[in-house]
Amino acid sequence: MAEYKRPSSLMPMATGYCPGCMHALATRLVADVIDELQQADNAINVVSVGCSALNLYSWKGDVIGSAHGRAPAVATGIKRCLPDRLVFTYQGDGDLAAIGLAEIMSAANRGENFTVIFANNQTYGMTGGQMAPTTLIGQKTTTTRFGRDAQTTGYPLKMCELISVLEAPVFVARYALNSVKGVQDAKKGIKKAFEMQMAGKGFTFIELLTNCPTNWGMNPLDTLEYMNTNTIPYFKPGIYKDKEAEA
Amino acid sequence: MEKRFMKGCEAIAEAAVRGGGRFFAGYPITPQNEIPEYLSWRLPEVGGAFVQGESEVASINMVYGAAATGKRALTSSSGPGISLKAEGISYLASAQLPAVIVNISRGGPGLGSIQPAQSDYLQATKALGHGGFRAMVFAPATLQEAVDLTYNAWDYAERYRNPVMILMDGCLGAIMEEVELPEMKEPTFENTEEWCLARVGGRTDSHMITPILPEPALELLNKGKAMQYKMWEMLDTKVEEFMLEDAEHVVVAYGIAARVAKEAILRLREEGYKVGMVRPITLYPFPKASLDNLDYSLVKGVIDIEMTIPAQMREDIELQVKGRCPVHEYGRSGGMLLDDEGVYDAIAEIVKGGE
Ligand SMILES: Cc1ncc(C[n+]2csc(CCOP(=O)(O)OP(=O)(O)O)c2C)c(N)n1
Ligand code: SF4
Ligand SMILES: [Mg+2]
């Protein structure tokens, strides 16, 4: 039977995330894969601004905080100088798909050889639940009190779809963390992305559909079903691009 | 030492490489394009990396990432581009990462003008970004000085783990002069283990680089920085004092303005007028003592000459003159250049005013 233990990249402390928050699960998945690949001493975690910034304090390995939206630029600087290190960014949806849109698209388009872990919880968690570029139509947030209206705010941004039309990225996939199967698939996807990076293949992008029980105003269990009926039908999980499989 | 006839921007770029610069990220903007153009082929020659960023915002953050690996990293820009880098420069100061930022300044505000101007003194010396931090600002007046200051810039940046700015206007960026190029300096990774991401320079444990701190730690960081700024003032102030011994009028000017003013001063000296000059080489720390210690029983007036309107250095000058004599100012702005006649006339009018 497999042993269940704390990944070596995590500090022996509570994460700081709200109870039931999937940021904790996502962080753990990344740390588990790093252990499996024996990369704990070689990985560099480029943390973004958002609830993910809490990673700064619970991550035991090399970690660097970056400005809101700029993690892909920071990772570019790091990876160009230390090409042998396993470099990844961990970014929220406000960070990546709003303020950091130029940085993520440009890093993806340059084919930078690092991995992006994108935690899409359809809200600005850290600042108290405002509308994110990924907020679903009709979803209530503190800046869309009557639900997101496409007339004035447009539609939720589909990052996997956008990035997969670029030429350079080698692996682009979306997973939902609200089921055991989703979690297992996500772990496989993260592992594949890291392996491709270590083989020098190029830019890899993993979107994880996550929750924000606090700002969704829901108990954590209810978020699982909410994701099945609302999030997943719009943000369809799947592999959007896999250059290895194409080859 | 190798002598070469070089353009200002290219001389800075080569000096950066010889000073150990191994990473550059930047975005095109006139009048500094020759710096990224030069480094795009030169850095790969020495095993360095060049990235043309998607914006100045991205570029300064690439520099932040590169600096965290212990590589000597730089960016360059002008006017609007420097404004866009402000957040990133503040992050460098907060995370205590060394980097060199070159500003080849142009007319402002706004998109302004692509012609040369000294329009960014206040931004450079008072607030390169939010949060109340300072950075050393070097302002060369000749290309040789630009080469020497750039060559040594990382030594300061690394010693104090803080960004450093080279501020030079578009005139100096575009002119050609003979320069002596120093030998290649290989970065030693000395002390880098204290601040780099791990396993650089022999370090074996991991490391956190953070631009956010718990409040008591942040206050401590700021107290440390405040002490450091005092130290810079004592140890690192650079200034040229020109013909001050008997001066009855003292010009204060930096960079290109100081070169033009020097010609006017020499002309007035020939006519028998006792004019001297204080030329700040470090704009921050400002050479306070050079102005504070003037013999005000002799000095009848101080004249601030800058290629910007209104003069931006004036408050720093007045703080040292302390009302002991009048402070005058003359400048051109918006990309209109200072010329020999205009500067001579402005100084002469004040100097000969009593006649
Ligand atoms: C330049 C800048 N603008 C705004 C902020 C404020 N801010 C902090 S976190 C955040 C939103 C984060 O949302 P997201 O990226 O979705 O992460 P989450 O907290 O949901 O995981 C914002 C707007 C900031 N730190 N910096
Ligand atoms: S606010 Fe939302 S995203 Fe942030 S830790 Fe709490 S549940 Fe998670
Ligand atoms: Mg979010």
Residue B192's pLDDT is 72
Is domain A22-246 annotated with CATH 3.40.50.970? yes
Ligand at shortest distance from the CA of A216: 2
Q: How far is the CA of B56 from the centre of ligand 3 (A)?
A: 25
Residues B245 and B322 both lie in one domain: yes
Together in a domain, B45 and B169: yes
Q: In whole angstroms, what separates CA A45 from the centre of its chain?
A: 12
Q: What residues of chain A lie within 8 A of the CB of B88, using their CB?
A: 67, 70
Q: Is residue B45 domain-shared with residue B96, that is, in the same domain?
A: yes
Show the CA angle centred on residue B75, arms to residues B175 and A52, nearest 5°: 165
> Tell me, what's the pLDDT at A190?
98
Which of A95, A117, A131, A209 has most ligand 1 atoms within 8 Å of its beta carbon, as the pocket-test mutant? A95
Helix (H, G, I), strand (E, B) or coil at B92: helix
pLDDT tens by residue, A2-20 = 678 899 889 998 889 999 9
Q: Is A123 in the pocket of ligand 1 (CB under 6 A)?
A: yes
Please, what's the largest Cα pairwise distance for chain B?
A: 74
> B237-251: b or e for each residue (b if 16 or more CB lie within 10 Å)?
bbbbbbbbeebebbb
Kindly state if the Cβ of A125 falls inside 6 Å of ligand 2: yes
Q: Which atom of ligand 1 is nearest to the CA of A121?
A: 20
Q: Are residues B212 and B227 in the same domain?
A: yes
Taking the C-alpha atoms of residue B30 and residue B26, their distance in angstroms, rounded to an integer, is 12
Structural tokens at position B232: 């810079």
Average pLDDT over residues A17-30: 96
The two structure tokens encoding residue B189: 């990774």
Pair B128, B8 in one domain: yes
Tokens in use for B93?
Answer: 């100061």
User: How close B168 comes to chain A (CA, Å)?
Assistant: 26
Count of structural domains, chain B: 2
The reply to whether B206 and B98 lie within a common domain is: yes
Residue B341: which residues within 8 A CB-CB, separation 6 or more? Answer: none
Strand locations in A4-120, DSSP E?
43-47, 62-65, 86-92, 115-120
- Cβ of A56 within 8 Å of Cβ of B210? The answer is yes
Query: Could you give the CA distance from residue A33 to residue B327 in angstroms, rounded to a whole number?
Result: 67
d(CA B338, CA B315): 21
State whether A78 and B211 contact (CB < 8 Å): no
DSSP code, position A59: B
Contact B23 A103 (CB under 8 A): no
Point out which residues pair with B180 in neighbouring strands: B3
Judge if B24 and B161 occupy the same domain.
Answer: yes
Q: What's the CATH code of the domain at B323?
A: 3.40.50.920
Last residue of a domain, one of B200, B218, B235: B235
- pLDDT greater than 90 at residue A194: yes
Helix (H, G, I), strand (E, B) or coil at A129: coil
Closest to B276 in 3D by CA, of B287, B266, B288: B266
B interface test, pick of A54, A55, A80 with most B CB neighbours within 10 Å: A80
Tokens linked to B77? 């820009």
Tens of pLDDT, residues A220-246: 999 999 999 999 999 999 999 999 998
Considering the domain architecture, whether residues B228 and B252 belong to the same structural domain is answered as no
Task: Identify residue A30 by its one-letter amino acid code.
Answer: V
Would you state the structure tokens that stand for residue B238, as one six-digit string?
A: 């650079």
The beta strand positions in chain B, using DSSP E, are 2-7, 21-26, 49-52, 72-77, 99-107, 113-116, 136-138, 163-169, 176-181, 208-209, 239-242, 249-252, 275-280, 282-284, 301-306, 327-331
* Closest of A33, A41, A40 to residue A194, by C-alpha: A33
Q: How far is the CA of A99 from the centre of ligand 1 (A)?
A: 9
Q: Are residues B194 and B326 in the same domain?
A: no
- The alpha carbon dihedral of B93, B95, B100, B103 has a sign of negative
pLDDT digits (tens, 9 = 90+) for A30-64: 999 999 999 999 999 999 999 988 988 889 889 99
**C-alpha dist (Å) from residue A196 to A169, B87, B342:** 11, 33, 64
Q: Residues A78-96: pLDDT tens digits?
A: 999 999 999 999 999 999 9
Tokens standing for residue A19:
């109870």
Is B325 an interface residue toward A (CB < 8 Å)? no
Residue type, A124: Y
User: What is the Cα–Cα distance from B81 to B181, expressed in whole angstroms?
Assistant: 28
Measure the CA–CA gap between B209 and B96, rounded to whole angstroms.
8
Domain that holds residue B151: 2-235
Q: Torsion-angle region of residue B28: left (phi > 0), alpha (psi -120 to 50) or beta?
A: beta
Q: State whether the beta carbon of A121 lies less than 6 angstroms from ligand 1.
A: yes
Do B244 and B209 share a structural domain?
no
Residue among A64, A86, A89, A96 with most chain B CBs within 10 A, to mutate: A64
B166 and B21 in a common domain = yes
In Å, how far is B120's CA from the nearest CA of chain A? Answer: 24
Q: Are B203 and B193 in contact (CB under 8 A)?
A: yes
Q: Measured in angstroms, how far is the CA atom of residue B22 from the centroid of ligand 1?
A: 32
Q: Which of residues 49-108 of B touch A (CB under 8 A)?
A: 49, 51, 53-55, 57-59, 61-71, 73, 87-88, 91, 95
Identify which of B155, B158, B156 has the alpha carbon closest to the alpha carbon of residue B136.
B156
HEC sequence for A142-188: CCECCCECHHHHCCCCCHHHHHHCCCCCCEEEEEECCCHHHHHHHHH
The H-or-E segment that residue B64 falls in is helix B56-67
* Residue ranges per structural domain of chain A: 22-246
Last residue of a domain, one of B202, B217, B235: B235
Q: Which atom of ligand 1 is nearest to the CA of A49?
A: 9
User: Which atom of ligand 2 lies at the shortest distance from residue A23's CA?
Assistant: 8
Please, which residues bridge with residue B51 across strands?
B25
Boundary residue ending a domain (B208, B235, B262): B235
Q: Any idea which ligand is nearest the CA of A24?
A: 2
Yes or no, beta carbons of A77 and B23 under 8 Å apart = yes
Average pLDDT per 10 consecutive residues for chain B, totaling 355 residues = 95 98 98 98 97 98 96 97 98 96 97 97 98 98 98 95 97 97 82 73 75 94 98 98 98 98 98 98 98 98 98 98 98 97 98 82
Question: What is the nearest CA distance from B153 to chain A, expressed in angstroms?
Answer: 20
CB contact under 8 A, A77 and B64: yes
Percent of chain A with pLDDT over 70: 99
Burial A204-237 (b: 16+ CB within 10 A, else e): bbbbbbbbbbbbbebeeeebbebbeeebbeebeb
* Complex prediction ipTM: 0.97
Q: Would you call B95 and A82 a contact, using CB atoms and an 8 Å cutoff?
A: no
Please indicate, yes or no, whether residues B123 and B161 belong to a single structural domain of this protein.
Answer: yes
